[in-house]
Chain A
Amino acid sequence: DTGVSQDPRHKITKRGQNVTFRCDPISEHNRLYWYRQTLGQGPEFLTYFQNEAQLEKSRLLSDRFSAERPKGSFSTLEIQRTEQGDSAMYLCASSLAQLAGGTGELFFGEGSRLTVL
């Protein structure tokens, strides 16, 4: 396994367009997370899944944002009607739940950088 992979790595779009990011977690991990990171700041939690169930969503996740993990494997994060304030790095991470033997460590992908013009 090569770790968490994210696609695309960079996306430039015009305000008002829709964008979709994909995340492929480490295969045996049952939890998948999305974070947003702006320049020079720490990552901010957006949402997470256990298997295919979306268990928690941040207030940061407005109704323009939607995330799915249809088969409990890869996940997509879609942003509709993008705004300039959406410009950020979108990080995906995966982990094994503690009840399944996990240690709480999250394994991160390299991120998808979004620039909204």
Chain B
Amino acid sequence: AQTVTQSQPEMSVQEAETVTLSCTYDTSENNYYLFWYKQPPSRQMILVIRQEAYKQQNATENRFSVNFQKAAKSFSLKISDSQLGDTAMYFCACNNAGNMLTFGGGTRLMVKP
């Protein structure tokens, strides 16, 4: 069984500043993917960034980057130059060999002008 834990229910950040969202996970799989999904208010969930567990290099997508610590089973998301449109629920997720995603409880991020 997989578990994903997000210890920060809510976070806030000033526009243009940097914020880091935390995530820890546990899995018995040797090969797996980790994801951060964004769910804006009343809108569908979209992928922010993906990390393949066998790759040591941290994934980066424009203003979004991760800090993947495989031994510690930690997968944090850093958002640089925060924008008002980044306001959303953020979910960390881990998949298994069957592509079934297990989600954390989410972090509500508020970007303040």
For chain B, residues 78 to 113, give those with C-beta under 8 angstroms from any C-beta of chain A: 91, 95, 98-106, 108
Report chain B residues within 8 Å CB of A106: 99, 101
Report chain A residues within 8 Å CB of B101: 33, 43, 45, 104, 106
Asked if B50 and A103 sit within 8 Å, CB to CB, the answer is: yes
Asked if A48 and B100 sit within 8 Å, CB to CB, the answer is: yes
Interface residue ranges, B against A (CB under 8 Å):
4, 6, 32-33, 35, 37, 43-47, 50, 91, 95, 98-106, 108
For chain A, residues 62 to 94, give those with C-beta under 8 angstroms from any C-beta of chain B: 91
Report chain A residues within 8 Å CB of B33: 103-105
Partner among B44, B100, B103 whose Cβ is within 8 Å of the Cβ of A42: B103
Summed over the interface, the residue pairs from A and B with CB atoms below 8 Å come to a total of: 57
Chain A contact residues (Cβ within 8 angstroms of B): what range?
20 to 34
Q: Tell me the complex Cα distance, A56–B105, Å.
A: 22
Report chain A residues within 8 Å CB of B100: 33, 45, 48, 56
Interface residue ranges, A against B (CB under 8 Å):
31, 33, 40-45, 48, 55-56, 91, 95, 97-98, 102-111
Instruction: Write the nearest CB–CB distance from A115 to chain B, whole angstroms.
Output: 15
Asked if A43 and B47 sit within 8 Å, CB to CB, the answer is: no
Of all chain A residues, the one with the shortest Cβ separation from B97 is: A98
